[in-house]
């Protein structure tokens, strides 16, 4: 029987390495700011390009405005049919209707109203200077009608005569002039913020 071999020592387990000391931390380098992207000179929008863009918008608008004004008479005031109001008023008093005013006069409004003391027809015009003029015909007493239409501060400033009537000229509210004719069956007032010649033209057109 062979003698037992001397026991061989077991290989020593590798010793765990001591933890290495951490290297001192260093701040991460900050990347340099990238260069701001810029358009090349030829890529930018030049003033000429802006002008051309505006022309593309302006030219069609100008053509439309020209068509509206020249072909469709877009600048002309819209005329109102005064016939219904005149027909109602004619049942209450004889209505004087102007004749021969011309195409540069337009009816802008027409109303008839029965009120305390009588009935009143009001027809609004746009005269040849594009100013508003009001023609009032009423059976209301002149002492009540005139202050209401002309203003309590209205004062007589003269006289105007045409082929049919003699009119009293009044300075009414600021900027307004009035022509007044008192008759047996009605009182007629023409007033507006316009030249007196325009008021006289309307007065002379009344039969």
pLDDT higher than threshold 60 for residue 191: yes
| Average pLDDT of every residue of the chain | 82
Nearest to 160, CA basis, from 140, 178, 146: 178
Phi, psi of 54 (to 5 degrees): -65, -40
Q: What is the pTM of this model?
A: 0.65
Per-residue pLDDT tens for 32-65? Answer: 555 656 655 555 566 777 777 776 777 677 766 6
Q: Mean pLDDT over residues 103-110, rounded? A: 95
Six-digit token string for 172: 């009414």
pLDDT for 43 equals: 52
- CA 202 to chain centroid, in Å, comes to 29
∠ Cα 197 76 137 (to 5°):
50
* Separation CA 113–CA 108 (nearest Å): 17
Helices marked H in the chain? 47-66, 83-90, 142-150, 196-204
Q: Confidence class of residue 118 from pLDDT cuts 50, 70 and 90?
A: very high
pLDDT higher than threshold 50 for residue 1: no
* Separation CA 78–CA 81 (nearest Å): 10
Per-residue pLDDT tens for 149-175? Answer: 999 999 999 999 999 999 999 999 999
pLDDT higher than threshold 90 for residue 78: no
* Separation CA 17–CA 121 (nearest Å): 118
């Amino acid at each position: 029987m062979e003698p037992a071999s001397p026991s061989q020592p077991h290989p020593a387990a590798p010793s765990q390495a001591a933890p290495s000391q951490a290297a001192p931390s260093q701040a991460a380098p900050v990347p340099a700011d990238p260069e701001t992207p810029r358009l090349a000179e030829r890529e930018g929008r030049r003033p000429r390009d802006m002008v051309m863009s505006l022309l593309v918008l302006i030219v069609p608008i100008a053509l439309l405005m020209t068509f509206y004004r020249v072909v469709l008479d877009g600048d002309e005031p819209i005329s109102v049919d005064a016939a219904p109001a005149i027909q109602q008023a004619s049942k209450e008093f004889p209505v004087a209707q102007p004749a021969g005013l011309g195409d540069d006069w337009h009816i802008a409004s027409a109303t008839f109203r029965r009120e305390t003391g009588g009935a009143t027809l009001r027809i609004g015009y746009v005269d040849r200077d594009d100013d508003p003029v009001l023609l009032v015909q009423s059976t209301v007493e002149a002492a009540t009608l005139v202050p209401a239409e002309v203003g309590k501060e209205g004062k007589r400033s003269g006289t105007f005569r045409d082929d049919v009537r003699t009119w009293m000229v009044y300075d009414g509210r600021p900027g307004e002039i009035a022509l007044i004719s008192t008759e047996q069956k009605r009182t007629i007032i023409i007033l507006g913020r316009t030249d007196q010649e325009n008021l006289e033209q309307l007065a002379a057109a009344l039969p």
